[in-house]
A and B are shown apart, each in its own frame.
Chain A
Amino acid sequence: MSAGKAVTKETLEVVKSFNLEGLFKTRGAGASEVTLLHNIKEGKGAEQREWLEAVINTDWELSLWGSEEIHFLRACTINNDTQFLFCSNFDGTPDTYLADFLVHSPEFLDQVWGRCEGYPEGGARDFKGFMEFIVSGYVPCQAFFAAYPDATVKQVWRALDWEKKTRDFQRELARPTPSRTLEESSKQRAA
């Protein structure tokens, strides 16, 4: 990952000019979707599938895809490895999501889509070419459901952390105090 780069105004401008927000669905701060379908270059299907299988559970996967904005992401080769289906549910708008990716991890994007037809020669560093490629694979989504549309990934993590802390606190509270252990109280009753 090319670390430390900020999303520049220009990147965002380029991305915005493609009007992704009008294309993909958003249900709330914590619920946007992107669905893309691209043809895989001839002879590259198996490689694409194997690369996806290998990337699962690697540090790479965690550090790149596992950005703190993605709730769920599915990447699959379909139709006998001839097409590549990419579906992601994430926080914020598709614009910022993609702009972030473009700046932080163009190499990763090259790995993900580089085996697809129409992928720009200059890879993801060619922002405009990359965006054209992305939009060419746009799959309109008719129905998109979100059970908690306003909870972002970070908020979900925070809530889970709170739940754990609350339970630990409850457990502390509910612990029989030394004076209330069984032996003590039976002694008290006997007395």
Chain B
Amino acid sequence: MDASVTDRTLTGEDIVGNLDEIQGNIIKPYTYAQQRGLFFRIDNGAAGRQWLDHVSARVTPATPWPDAKRPQSAMNVGISFFGLRALELSADALSGFPGVFQAGAVGRAERNGDVGERSPDTWQDGFGSEGIHVAVFVFSDDVALIDAESDWLREAAERVGGVTEMAAHDGRGFEDGVEHFGYRDGLTDVPIEGTEEIYPQTPGAGTRQPDGTWAPLKPGEFLLGYENESGSEPPAPEPRELAVNGTFIVYRKIYQDVAAFRRFLAQAAECVYGSSNEDDQERMAAKFMGRWRSGCPLMHAPDEDRPELADDPDKCNNFGYSDDPDGMICPRGAHIRRMNPRDALDGTATVVRRHRLIRRGLEYGPKLPDGVLEDDGRDRGIASYLVCANIKDQFEFVWQEWVNKGDFAGLPMGEQDPIIGPASAEGQMTLPGEPMPFLFDFKRFITTRCGEYFFMPSLTALKGIAAQKY
């Protein structure tokens, strides 16, 4: 990295020059079919740093590669606050990290509504404590290569001692692009200013402009040291070298109760349409998501599915909600309208572009065979991370305000995300224009199994942490 750039706020113009510093899979998703997240605890700072130094040499930067030259595997690293502490970062450096990150997923559980059945006490593999220190994500199309990389990591850990593997979570790309609940996923992404050339995206990604076009997000929403959508920089630790080109990720392993979802879908179709035939269930599923299960957006196909639109780059993502203020076409509480309200909140105090998330998710566990309505007891769900420069304004805001409440969209306070909401007693969904325009008694379809906040440093910072430079 050019040392001179570190003293000023970077902008989109600086990104291309910094790609070799930024970790891969942030700006642009990998397309590997397999992923493994390995989670380690560090009991000895010096040994941990030595191990991290080995690992940092293998970390994959964001530098683009031509298709033919795609490496066979990739590796990326995140460190929790407790990990930074265990690696003996200086007290000054530690105290500069945002409070929310310092508290970690457990410390923030109450604020995030991770209580009761969702509480960290129920999390697995040592998550739910302060014992998850370093996350290493390994990607490849070939599981054998992932195994080899994992062995390399483990052997290196054994050599230094004092580094213990806590868990390994396997994930794979969605089969045919379809996730467990039966929806096509991975259709949208968030474009970052300055990356248009290396990662062109479809219209509809980004932020709607007054002239109807879509603008990419300022890099500071996803990278430390860069200008963000408030015209400032995201809160970051000192020294600057530690922060610049780094970011935060929110890791969540989430169980999906597919049988419960399918049963509820049928019941909901009964309640709303008076029938649970396949068409009505599909219609119901589309209202929950804001897209038909094919991926076709409701806003372009209000009455029936047009699967071809999911593959039409000019249609798949190119829509807003301002023509549908009441949610007659896409309910105001539908998953994608909540998670990215696009232009729906224009004119309110909420600035949507300050609350965006990059999703880097894969699924795990076998698919529940079509038509099965009883749980088979197998574990399945998503093992994903969300990227954001400001955990509080992005992940936590979305989770607390948009997933768990309805108020922001003018819905009843207790109305929650139909797919990922906590389904508390007041849970309901408003469906204007449908034969029965409201639906109650939502069930909880997802359960967090593991969660933690990780700092994903630049390559320079990673080596610096390993050298106890900060």
Q: Are chains A and B native binding partners rather than an unrelated pairing?
A: yes
Please give the residue numbers on chain A whose beta carbons come within 8 Å of chain B beta carbons, in ascending order: 163, 167, 170-171, 173-176, 180-182, 185-186, 189
Q: Which residues of B contact A186 (CB under 8 A)?
A: 276
Q: Contact at B276–A170, with CB atoms within 8 Å? A: no
Q: How many residues of B contact A (CB 8 A)?
A: 17
Q: Contact at A176–B270, with CB atoms within 8 Å? A: yes
Residue B428 interfacial (CB < 8 Å): yes
Q: Contact at A182–B263, with CB atoms within 8 Å? A: yes
Bound: A171/B425 CA distance, A? 12
Return the contact of B275 from the options A163, A167, A173, A185 (Cβ within 8 A).
A185
Q: Which residues of B contact A185 (CB under 8 A)?
A: 270, 275-276
Q: Contact at B275–A170, with CB atoms within 8 Å? A: no
Q: Contact at A174–B270, with CB atoms within 8 Å? A: no
* A170, A174, A175, A182, most chain B CB atoms within 10 A: A174
Residue B302 interfacial (CB < 8 Å): no
Bound: A167/B430 CA distance, A? 11
**CB closest residue in chain B, given A189:** B277
| Residues in B79-128 with C-beta less than 8 Å from chain A | none
| Residues in B260-276 with C-beta less than 8 Å from chain A | 263, 266-267, 270-272, 274-276
Bound: A57/B271 CA distance, A? 43
Please give the residue numbers on chain B whose beta carbons come within 8 Å of chain A beta carbons, in ascending order: 263, 266-267, 270-272, 274-277, 412, 428, 436, 438-441
Known A180-B270, A185-B270, A185-B275: A174·B436 in contact at CB below 8 Å: yes
Return B103 CB to nearest CB of chain A, in Å: 28
Known A167-B412, A167-B428: A182·B267 in contact at CB below 8 Å: yes
Bound: A181/B266 CA distance, A? 10
Listed from nearest, the 5 A-B pairs whose CB atoms lie closest are A171-B440, A170-B438, A176-B270, A174-B271, A180-B270
**CB closest residue in chain A, given B266:** A182
Known A182-B276, A185-B275: A176·B438 in contact at CB below 8 Å: no
Return A46 CB to nearest CB of chain B, in Å: 31
Return the contact of A174 from the options B266, B277, B412, B438 (Cβ within 8 A).
B438
Q: Which residues of B contact A163 (CB under 8 A)?
A: 412
Q: Which residues of B contact A180 (CB under 8 A)?
A: 270-271, 274
Q: Which residues of A contact B271 (CB under 8 A)?
A: 174-176, 180
Q: Which residues of A contact B266 (CB under 8 A)?
A: 182
13 contacts between A and B (CB under 8 A): A167-B428, A170-B428, A170-B438, A171-B438, A171-B440, A171-B441, A174-B272, A174-B436, A180-B274, A182-B267, A182-B276, A185-B275, A189-B277
Q: Contact at B436–A173, with CB atoms within 8 Å? A: yes
Bound: A180/B276 CA distance, A? 9
Return A82 CB to nearest CB of chain B, in Å: 33
Q: Contact at A176–B412, with CB atoms within 8 Å? A: no
Return B316 CB to nearest CB of chain A, in Å: 32
Q: Contact at B267–A174, with CB atoms within 8 Å? A: no
Bound: A174/B431 CA distance, A? 12
Return B28 CB to nearest CB of chain A, in Å: 44
Known A182-B276, A185-B275, A185-B276: A170·B440 in contact at CB below 8 Å: yes
* A181, A185, A186, most chain B CB atoms within 10 A: A185
**CB closest residue in chain B, given A181:** B270
Q: Which residues of A contact B275 (CB under 8 A)?
A: 185
**CB closest residue in chain A, given B373:** A182
Return A85 CB to nearest CB of chain B, in Å: 26
Q: Which residues of A contact B439 (CB under 8 A)?
A: 174
Return A88 CB to nearest CB of chain B, in Å: 25
**CB closest residue in chain A, given B412:** A167
Q: Which residues of B contact A176 (CB under 8 A)?
A: 267, 270-271
Known interface pairs A163-B412, A182-B266; 9 further A-B residue pairs with C-beta atoms within 8 A, sorted by A's residue number? A170-B428, A171-B441, A174-B271, A174-B436, A174-B439, A176-B267, A176-B270, A176-B271, A185-B275
Return B438 CB to nearest CB of chain A, in Å: 5
Bound: A175/B274 CA distance, A? 11
Q: Which residues of A contact B270 (CB under 8 A)?
A: 176, 180-182, 185
Bound: A102/B271 CA distance, A? 56
Q: Which residues of B contact A170 (CB under 8 A)?
A: 428, 438, 440
* A175, A176, A181, most chain B CB atoms within 10 A: A176
**CB closest residue in chain A, given B440:** A171
Bound: A174/B412 CA distance, A? 16
Q: Which residues of A contact B277 (CB under 8 A)?
A: 189
Bound: A180/B266 CA distance, A? 11
